Amino acid sequence: MAMPRVAPTEDDRIWTVEDLASFPDDGPRYELLHGELLLMPLATSPHQRVAKDLVYLLEVWCRATTGWDVRAPASVPIGRTTQLEPDAALYPIERYSRADWAALPVPALVIEVLSPSTRARDRHRKRPTYLQHGVGEVWTVDVDARFIERWSARSDFPVLEQQSFEWTPAPGMPSMLVAFDEVFGPDTGTIGR
């Protein structure tokens, strides 16, 4: 028997990963942040296009680099009361790993494409949680302003990328070129200005 749809108005309840797993897979999507149930709104078309193009760049890099795989969307379980779903995550695993989300290692990279309804949560609540969990780097991507904030546990402030850059998950590994025109489309000078 399927559990009825959950109304995210029960503010006093501490939700768990087990609760989340019992929800039917036929309605809204949720994630958990320190026991708080968060509704995941449907992504906008520009959001999905940018997320897809970033995943494509990561996928090409993974196919050329043994021992890495990208998952999108991804699930990052962190303890009993937190399970986040970034737009993409890069894992140090073999490409065809069939491991369950809970069995995967901590991602080397997590990408959150910012949406108007979730940008504050993604930037100020989810980002530090990923980094405290050991994620190597978190990118928050602003589609309208055409920039990527790159955060690591070692940084008090992000590296702000506003044009193409090279990235690698670890020293001695091949680099990946993040070409802004491939991610955001041609800069017409009107987007985000």
User: Over pLDDT 70: what percentage of the chain?
Assistant: 92
Model confidence pLDDT, tens digit, residues 89-100: 999 998 888 888
- Tell me the pTM: 0.89
The CA–CA distances, whole Å, from 126 to 64, 115, 138 equal: 30, 13, 10
**Looking at residue 27, what is its pLDDT?**
79
φ and ψ at 108, to 5 degrees?
A: -80, -30
CB atoms inside a 10 Å sphere around CB 22? 11
**Looking at residue 11, what is its pLDDT?**
65
Q: Which residues touch 192 (CB under 8 Å, ≥6 apart)? A: 142, 144, 145, 146
**Looking at residue 96, what is its pLDDT?**
83
Q: Using an 8 Å Cβ cutoff, are 97 and 124 in contact?
A: no
Q: Using an 8 Å Cβ cutoff, are 24 and 3 in contact?
A: yes
Q: How far apart are alpha carbons 45 and 134 in whole angstroms?
A: 31
**Looking at residue 2, what is its pLDDT?**
40
**Which CATH architecture does the domain made up of 42-184 adopt?**
Alpha-Beta Complex (3.90)
Q: How far apart are alpha carbons 50 and 1 in whole angstroms?
A: 38
Task: Specify the 3-state DSSP secondary structure of 131.
Answer: helix
Mean pLDDT (the chain) is 89
Q: Is pLDDT above 60 for 166?
A: yes
